Amino acid sequence: MSRRRQIYEGKAKILYEGPEPGTIIQYFKDDATAFNAQKKGTINGKGVINNRISEHVFLRLSHIGIPTHFIRRLNMREQLVRQVEIIPLEVVVRNVAAGSLSKRLGLEEGEPLPHTLIEYYLKSDELQDPMVAEEHIACFGWATHEEMQDISSMAIRVNDFLCGMFAAIDIRLVDFKLEFGRIWDQDYSRVILADEISPDNCRLWDMNSGEKLDKDRFRRDLGGEEEAYQEVARRLGLLQGEDGPGEVFDLSAHRSKLRTTPAKPKK
């Protein structure tokens, strides 16, 4: 039996060559790192939960027309995705002051921002992901002006959708990080959403108690990270059995079943 080829190992995921050209298998690890990998640990079951949460979020985003790399979930820890040329930027969207923004500008954590902020950071472990301006992005050619327009409008649409999705389950979406990639069709490329969306790269606070339900539990040594990730999955309806009430109701399958099942005679 031949071993599949590993393409890349990151802090939380491993990428393997996919079954067809242009595809990749994304494997979710339990490893957790923070502060540019100065702090390392594991969160038991994190990979399994992030795989499910990210699948759920990417599917829902594709339903509102956001192009994403997600193809399908393969198993508990793996998903099949489209291979992209990663754009070397971390796109952070913020609704509420927290984390590095609070630190940099002396804002109290939890203060709602006057409007949504989008920030760009260069993906560089050696430089510890420095914040960059659109001027730098254009100057060094990391993305074109048109690509930045697509990225910023997608980031806003993702934020609007996710704020509503999380609010419906009593979770406040404080901030999150997105990554984008290019796919090529001959000489033309377009930008699609890549990477993952999970409690690893979002700040999610319980709407009532303010409790943190994300990776800050690990970053800040708060404990209970496994339970927090599970709670997000549970509220999204992802922890029931495969056919349980948490699954999305398949209306067309239901309709075709109705058509093939003879109606019961009325009593």
Contact set with ligand 5GP (CB under 6 A): 90, 92, 98-101, 129, 175-177, 200-203, 215
**Which residue number places its CB atom closest to ligand 5GP?**
99
CB closer to ligand 5GP out of 18 and 52: 52
Q: What is the largest CA-CA distance in the chain?
A: 76
8 A C-beta contact, residue 93 and residue 44: no
User: In this structure, what token pair is assigned to residue 162?
Assistant: 């996710």
Which CB atom, from 62 or from 100, has the smaller least distance to ligand 5GP?
Answer: 100
CB of 22 to ligand 5GP, least distance (A): 26
Residues 6 or more apart whose Cβ sits within 8 Å of residue 218? 32, 34, 39, 41, 43, 225
Q: Which residues contact 238 (CB under 8 A, 6 or more apart)?
A: 49, 52, 53, 56, 246
Residue with Cβ nearer ligand 5GP (163 or 189): 163
246, 234 in Cβ contact below 8 A? no
State the minimum distance, in angstroms, from the CB of residue 198 to ligand 5GP: 8
Minimum CB distance to ligand 5GP, residue 134 (Å): 17
What's the length of the chain?
267
Pick between residue 46 and residue 215 the one whose CB is nearest to ligand 5GP.
215
Three-class DSSP category at 260: helix
Q: How far is the CB of 180 from ligand 5GP (least distance, A)?
A: 14
Residue 18 or 232 with smaller CB distance to ligand 5GP? 232
